[in-house]
A and B are shown apart, each in its own frame.
Chain A
């Protein structure tokens, strides 16, 4: 296990270097830069040059990258080119809002997708299965921003029961108020992620139902509910662990679209604004955060696998000669 962890750490470092370099290169190749905010026609050539030097745009891409990377390794992600303030605190300030939103949507999608997937698998080819599968297809097909807009039209414009956007009512600082503001974005996010998880769980459930241990449990007279919850559930969770590992990045990096549609003051909308302005220190910090969490998430998922399924741990031990 220790060797596995060390190997994973080494892979993490290599992946982070590759992510950072290619992200930086792509941003550099993208048309436009932050100078469009500062250069005007009435400036002399000397004045334009001073502005470009102040923004660090007179250096080549490798020079800019290495300058950034040498600071980033020390935890200094630089200063925002548009705000002139350090990037790391700006991201940290918005992190709790994103974690709250994405965490709730993740929990909700898990809470709904697992039982729905189990039921759909157990009731395969019945109207229950068709209903749940239809719901899943709907969730996978509808664009999340469109669904979000539909929710706003229904609950805000027509029914006037929920606020259209934001995180709080001004002057109100209660959990209930925050929950009200969260309902629509959480449901919108949960729907899109729940749909695919439901299908995974369903497929695995169908696979497990044909196993002999299920037949044995039925022969013993175990009720269907207990078969699903006590036997089949654990075996269907492996792909869910994989998905969770991949979704960890979104937990902290948010969703551009959902946060923009609902005016949620999180990391996602912040990064979107930075992309529009070509504020590369913010963009790079966001990309590095996202990449790091993604890799760590997958690493954690691998570790959890070995605990969730003893066969995997035995396989790992066998490879290492134990």
Chain B
């Protein structure tokens, strides 16, 4: 009996090793790729010509010219109308181009749009689509596709971000197949951000019928649907999607012929998959990871760029502690921003200490905005005189965001020095947002009374407007406790057509907001990526969620 068991076990081990030895090569493409460059504009004019280099003949092996990206889940469909998460945006970026995108220099990078002209009074936006833009099935992209996207949004969500501002309608006029105008009831600088999020939908596929697109649940689940980006979907598997480069893409054929989006397990599995060569890059969020890969610069590339994100601490005006001016001041004097960076991020390579609620990626940003000062003695004095000492405050954070738990722990330690106890509660995004925005987006749902302090972040803080800071300053329901002056000034910034005046007003309103000790800017974060050595170009268009432009990316031999 013993011998038979032993024989069975040995046979099983031999079978397993034979199976394992037959593993396919999952390495990434290794080919001297040819880059196809496309000129990018930075202001309102777009250069007409796009250069296209001659491509060297592609190697026949299917593993080459492939860029493999890890995804956390397998989407049920790849519709441009689905999504809402950064993960999904990253998955569909290769398939659907934007009309344009604001870049980190305060300018505009044009894609399907040839130009966007704003009238001198700031009320009329004239959008012109490029003549050579086509869907992957050869149909030209026209203003009908943009109007179709607007109609679909209204049908599905009851609203579109471009059809009204402050509750007043925007007049949208189709001038011809390539030109549309948007006439606003008043100047509204943020409209440029709203318009940039507009993605055309294929009018010709659904006969212009938005209901038909809503009812068709299969079109975007099969390979070969119409796309405007540099890739089409050629394969959909249970755990991966394969995109193949278009030869007729209006900005030139990408050098990376295939993009593979592959489901990788959660937790440390991604790092193991990366080191095993199964994926081509991953994000780094801790200093340990950064140092580990920096030490292996012969095997990996490190890219670092601004995430255009502000993480901040908010004092809830409706919280149970009902903190007064002196108490808030005491809290803010007790916070050591540099220590938050060191303790929570480990390095100023991952995050830097901000001085404003605007990021340096916004043209209105003022580097001279006075920062909060760390003064522990003054904090203790104020804490004692104001009665803050000995209080317990409820602190909430979004556990789905990197480093937020560590920030909470550091703040807890810092505030304990002035006798304040922080009761920390972390939760997922679906629980966090209704609670944090209870007084704002959720119209006082009762949860505004359940927390005193909370950390949140504003992403995509780039361009030439106040961006997300605008709706913060121009608060609804007095959600953030700011004085009405902030809203009035923010409105003036948003409606100002002179960039210099707008910048001056922006500096003024930011200073007024910070003086009220309601919001404490905690970090400007950097987005750090590590890639395989043969993968380059990941930071040429440093926009998050990645990647804004797949033409930049090369997988070399």
Residues of A with Cβ closer than 8 Å to B? 30-48, 50-51, 53-54, 80, 82-86, 89-90, 93-94, 97, 115, 119, 145, 149, 152-153, 155-157, 160-172, 176-177, 179-180, 183, 224-225, 260-265, 269-270, 273, 276-278
B242 and A170 contacting across the interface, CB-CB below 8 Å: yes
A149 and B269 contacting across the interface, CB-CB below 8 Å: yes
A-B residue pairs, 9 tightest by C-beta: A50-B158, A32-B430, A263-B265, A32-B431, A165-B265, A36-B433, A41-B471, A31-B431, A161-B20
B432 and A168 contacting across the interface, CB-CB below 8 Å: no
Assess whether B273 is interfacial by the CB under 8 Å rule.
yes
CB neighbours of A145 from chain B (8 A): 267
A164 and B278 contacting across the interface, CB-CB below 8 Å: yes
CB neighbours of B235 from chain A (8 A): 170-171
B73 and A262 contacting across the interface, CB-CB below 8 Å: no
Nearest chain A CB to B256's CB is how many angstroms away? 14
CB neighbours of A34 from chain B (8 A): 430
Which residue of chain B has its CB nearest to the CB of A39? B441
- CB interface residues, B 181-222, toward A, < 8 Å: 190, 214, 217
Which residue of chain B has its CB nearest to the CB of A38? B157
Known: A38-B84, A170-B240, A180-B20. A54 touches B156 (CB 8 A): yes
A41 and B238 contacting across the interface, CB-CB below 8 Å: no
Docked complex Cα distance between A320 and B62 (Å): 68
Nearest chain B CB to A192's CB is how many angstroms away? 17
CB neighbours of B161 from chain A (8 A): 42
Q: Which of A32, A51, A80, A119 contacts B433 (CB 8 A)?
A: A32
* 8 pairs, A vs B, C-beta closer than 8 Å: A36-B429, A48-B443, A85-B77, A160-B276, A164-B264, A165-B263, A166-B240, A171-B63
B74, B431, B442 — which one has the most chain A CB atoms within 10 A of its CB? B74
Q: Which of A31, A35, A119, A168 contacts B427 (CB 8 A)?
A: A31
Which residue of chain B has its CB nearest to the CB of A178? B238
Name 18 extra pairs, CB < 8 A, besides A170-B237, A276-B429: A32-B435, A37-B84, A43-B159, A44-B164, A50-B157, A50-B158, A53-B158, A54-B157, A83-B76, A83-B82, A149-B268, A152-B272, A157-B276, A167-B238, A168-B237, A263-B239, A264-B265, A278-B430
Which residue of chain B has its CB nearest to the CB of A176? B22
CB neighbours of B516 from chain A (8 A): none
Residues of B with Cβ closer than 8 Å to A? 1, 5, 16, 19-24, 26, 62-63, 68, 73-77, 81-82, 84-85, 156-159, 161, 164, 166-167, 190, 214, 217, 235, 237-240, 242, 260, 262-269, 272-273, 275-276, 278, 427-435, 437, 440-443, 447, 468, 470-472, 475-476, 479
CB neighbours of B5 from chain A (8 A): 115, 119
Q: Which of B62, B263, B432 contacts A166 (CB 8 A)?
A: B263
Known: A33-B434, A54-B157. A39 touches B263 (CB 8 A): no
B441 and A40 contacting across the interface, CB-CB below 8 Å: yes
B20 and A162 contacting across the interface, CB-CB below 8 Å: yes
Known: A36-B434, A176-B19, A261-B269. A166 touches B264 (CB 8 A): yes
A179 and B19 contacting across the interface, CB-CB below 8 Å: yes
Docked complex Cα distance between A72 and B268 (Å): 39
Docked complex Cα distance between A164 and B164 (Å): 48
Docked complex Cα distance between A179 and B156 (Å): 42
Known: A44-B167, A47-B158, A265-B74. A152 touches B434 (CB 8 A): no
CB neighbours of A30 from chain B (8 A): 431
Which residue of chain A has its CB nearest to the CB of B159? A47
CB neighbours of B166 from chain A (8 A): 44
Q: Which of A37, A164, A224 contacts B273 (CB 8 A)?
A: A164
Nearest chain B CB to A165's CB is how many angstroms away? 4
B441 and A32 contacting across the interface, CB-CB below 8 Å: no
Known: A85-B217, A165-B263. A31 touches B276 (CB 8 A): no
A263 and B263 contacting across the interface, CB-CB below 8 Å: yes
Q: Which of A42, A261, A270 contacts B267 (CB 8 A)?
A: A261
Known: A38-B84, A86-B217, A165-B269. A31 touches B238 (CB 8 A): no
How many A-B pairs have beta carbons closer than 8 Å: the answer is: 203
Known: A36-B430, A163-B26, A260-B265. A156 touches B82 (CB 8 A): no
CB neighbours of A224 from chain B (8 A): 1
Which residue of chain B has its CB nearest to the CB of A96? B238
CB neighbours of A155 from chain B (8 A): 20
Docked complex Cα distance between A168 and B242 (Å): 13
CB neighbours of B20 from chain A (8 A): 155, 161-162, 180, 183
A41, A152, A172 — which one has the most chain B CB atoms within 10 A of its CB? A41
Nearest chain B CB to A30's CB is how many angstroms away? 8
CB neighbours of A84 from chain B (8 A): 81-82, 156, 214, 217
B158 and A51 contacting across the interface, CB-CB below 8 Å: yes
Known: A48-B443, A224-B1. A152 touches B22 (CB 8 A): no
CB neighbours of B81 from chain A (8 A): 84
Docked complex Cα distance between A278 and B84 (Å): 14
CB neighbours of B77 from chain A (8 A): 83, 85
Q: Which of A83, A93, A166, A261 contacts B239 (CB 8 A)?
A: A166
CB neighbours of A85 from chain B (8 A): 76-77, 217
Q: Which of A41, A177, A180 contacts B476 (CB 8 A)?
A: A41
Known: A32-B432, A264-B239. A51 touches B471 (CB 8 A): no
CB neighbours of A40 from chain B (8 A): 441, 471
Q: Which of A37, A46, A168 contacts B238 (CB 8 A)?
A: A168
Q: Which of B267, B468, B472 contacts A149 (CB 8 A)?
A: B267
A262 and B265 contacting across the interface, CB-CB below 8 Å: yes
CB neighbours of B470 from chain A (8 A): 42
Known: A163-B278, A164-B276, A176-B19. A261 touches B443 (CB 8 A): no
A43 and B441 contacting across the interface, CB-CB below 8 Å: yes
CB neighbours of B434 from chain A (8 A): 31-33, 35-36
B435 and A180 contacting across the interface, CB-CB below 8 Å: no
B159 and A51 contacting across the interface, CB-CB below 8 Å: yes
Which residue of chain B has its CB nearest to the CB of A42? B471
Nearest chain A CB to B416's CB is how many angstroms away? 27
CB neighbours of B1 from chain A (8 A): 119, 224-225
Docked complex Cα distance between A171 and B234 (Å): 11
CB neighbours of B479 from chain A (8 A): 41
CB neighbours of A80 from chain B (8 A): 76
CB neighbours of A46 from chain B (8 A): 167
Nearest chain B CB to A6's CB is how many angstroms away? 38
